[in-house]
Structure 1
């Protein structure tokens, strides 16, 4: 038996699969997105772990009700939203709400990156886009220098969830 856990923008979904790939149980918990200003999109990382724990608890309860022993679960696979900037200090504590993949505040920082690295597209295969992590870090450096100075780790949302689990 295997658990798949997906950290999406609107919710956390958990599914229990048997060795043949058949779905034996599933559960989900919703997530809220904060939009404190136009083009901003943020979430509290703690909400991700709370929702994941809730979905996993419901999944295990459903599995037990179906006669499945949780000790028969062999592994958990994790996937989720990308490019969210989850900023941690030296103690592993979250410094600010995560800036999500669909946040658009870092236009000026994208232009700055393109000026600093004119070959960026040729080397990386992508243009600098506001939803990517690097422009968000430049935005934090410029607009929240006290937060930027305390950054010890930058994790994507699914990696923060893995850290918490």
Structure 2
């Protein structure tokens, strides 16, 4: 059980680290340039989505969707809270300084990027037939193909 939560914590920390790196790049390199800051933020959302796609592709092979779905959801929730509430404080900004619109826009964009990454990873996994359920069905078919059905006499 501790390994399961350790993996969730590492994933949340990695997602938060991507946000921190993006915020530091924006603060040090593009402090006054809104267009460049928007591009760095977009890149951060793409990286978050790709990380989640890779994690879902890896975890989806070994465990059922309900388990990895709960783990990924927990990691995304923790990373989202850290990103929205703690991330701005690390670079000297107020989390609510941009107003409610910017605050909720960050939340929605993060959730969209996370959802797209999870969907991409899982759809590729299913398309390749390497997800947990497909592997179970393949093993079942291989196991039962060679045995004829036994006739039961009464």
Whether these two folds match at TM > 0.5 is no
Q: Which has the higher helix share?
A: 2
Judging by fraction of residues, say which structure has more strand. 1
TM-score range for the pair, normalised by the shorter chain length: 0.3 to 0.5
TM-score (norm 1): 0.37
Structure (1 or 2) with the larger CA radius of gyration = 2
